[in-house]
Amino acid sequence: MSTHSTEQSSYPRADVDPPSGQLFPYKHLLGIWGLDPTAIKHLLDTADGYVEQNRQAKKSTAICNGLTQINLFFENSTRTLMSFEIAGKRLGLDTISMSTGTSSIKKGETMLDTAATLNAMHPDVLVMRHGDSGAVKLLSEKMDCAVINAGDGRSEHPTQALLDALTIRRRKGSIHGQTIVISGDVAHSRVARSNIYLLNAMGARVRLVAPPTLLPCDVDRLGVEVFHRMEDGLEGADVVMMLRLQNERMQGAFLPSLREYYRFWGLTREKLTVAKDDVLVMHPGPMNRGVEIASDVADDLDRSAIEEQVEMGVAVRMACIDVLTKDLRSGDAS
Ligand code: ASP
């Protein structure tokens, strides 16, 4: 019997059967949705090797020498952009980053022109972040190279979910069977959505804890348990992932006040007492201290994995670039 709790979800699986036994049979990494669990495991296993490499004095390899990576970010980013840039450089790619204001290029004709322009420069990897859900997929259809989604609107942020999964697997030994709470502004969070897909695919029990106004309208179809009181949702939890209020994606008022939000939904030491003693606290960043998380919880070295998540981010992004360029490299060798 399958142990994947995606069976709980009423969404159709968009899996493709891995052709010819390939461990990662996809051209792009556009989302977690539809990835075979074997492919997810392969990415995590590959990333594990890079964690060790990144802890050595000499961190670079030349496996991707001669390849070109373009990072195209239409939204602000600190962790994701920097770690993709470091990841590319550590693998030996020529890495170029371009950040654009959200208003300069919009979906539609202009986006396709952008794709044609970039494609003409023959990159081997394109990493893209955009404020509109679906924009990265749209662009990928016009590109010859591998495209990695670095976050699109409120849709997906696959490398964040992978780095979160790697953090959990290394700290807890496994993802399967863990009770994992995702709490806060789930409705506007691409991090939550990618994590729900991945954690379900790997057999975790996923709980969402949020006020009703901050839950997505398709929550019943996500294969998760829903709680509206933190004290209930945190009971016996192995891991708690806190989310930022994504004000930039909110249209209208979703909360009475930040003070009230912190009182009911902020993660404090007191609220954590009902979780397991060794509960792991996570946050994708950027954090709003005193809004969704108390400073003493975020900085608690015994429980907080927030800096470790950043470290795992570089390794996971190296793994993604590695597996997506494998065919290209083996073609060169022959
Ligand atoms: N950095 C994450 C993202 O790009 C989370 C956040 O912004 O709150 O979605």
Quick one: pLDDT at residue 163?
98
Among candidates 285, 231, 230, 290, which has minimal Cα distance to 258?
290
Q: Is 29 in the pocket of ligand 1 (CB under 6 A)?
A: no
Cα 140 from chain centre: 18
pLDDT at 160 > cutoff 90: yes
Q: Is 186 in the pocket of ligand 1 (CB under 6 A)?
A: no
Quick one: pLDDT at residue 11?
42
Q: Among 14-23, 121-130, 232-241, 294-303, which stretch is predicted with the lowest mean pLDDT?
A: 14-23
| Residue located nearest, by CA, to atom 8 of ligand 1 | 244
Q: How far is the CA of 58 from the centre of ligand 1 (A)?
A: 30
Can you tell me the distance from the alpha carbon of 183 to that of 127, in angstroms, rounded to the nearest whole number? 28
Can you tell me the distance from the alpha carbon of 207 to that of 213, in angstroms, rounded to the nearest whole number? 16
Say what angle helices 79-90 and 37-54 make with each other, to 10 degrees. Answer: 80
Give the pair of three-digit tokens for residue 314: 């570089």
Above pLDDT 90, what percent of the chain? 80
The average pLDDT across 271-295 equals 97
pLDDT-derived band at 13 (thresholds 50, 70, 90) equals: very low
Which atom of ligand 1 lies closest to the CA of 189?
9
β-strand 205-209 against 179-183: which pairing, if any?
Answer: parallel
Quick one: pLDDT at residue 114?
83
Size of the chain, expressed as the number of residues it contains = 334
Above pLDDT 70, what percent of the chain? 89
List pLDDT tens digits, range 46-71.
999 999 999 999 999 999 999 999 99
pLDDT-derived band at 252 (thresholds 50, 70, 90) equals: low
Quick one: pLDDT at residue 76?
87
Q: Is 153 in the pocket of ligand 1 (CB under 6 A)?
A: no
User: Residue for token digits 């970039």?
Assistant: 118
* pTM (predicted TM-score): 0.92
List pLDDT tens digits, range 92-137.
999 999 877 544 565 566 788 888 889 999 999 999 999 999 999 9
Q: Is 151 in the pocket of ligand 1 (CB under 6 A)?
A: yes
Rg of the Cα trace of the chain? Answer: 19
Which atom of ligand 1 lies closest to the CA of 246?
8
Say what angle helices 190-201 and 158-172 make with each other, to 10 degrees. Answer: 50
User: Measured at the alpha carbon of residue 281, what is the angle toward residues 276 and 282, in degrees to the nearest 5?
Assistant: 145
Q: Is 317 in the pocket of ligand 1 (CB under 6 A)?
A: no
pLDDT at 5 > cutoff 70: no
- Cα dihedral 107, 113, 117, 123, rounded to 10, equals 40
List pLDDT tens digits, range 227-239.
999 999 999 999 9
The average pLDDT across 198-213 equals 97
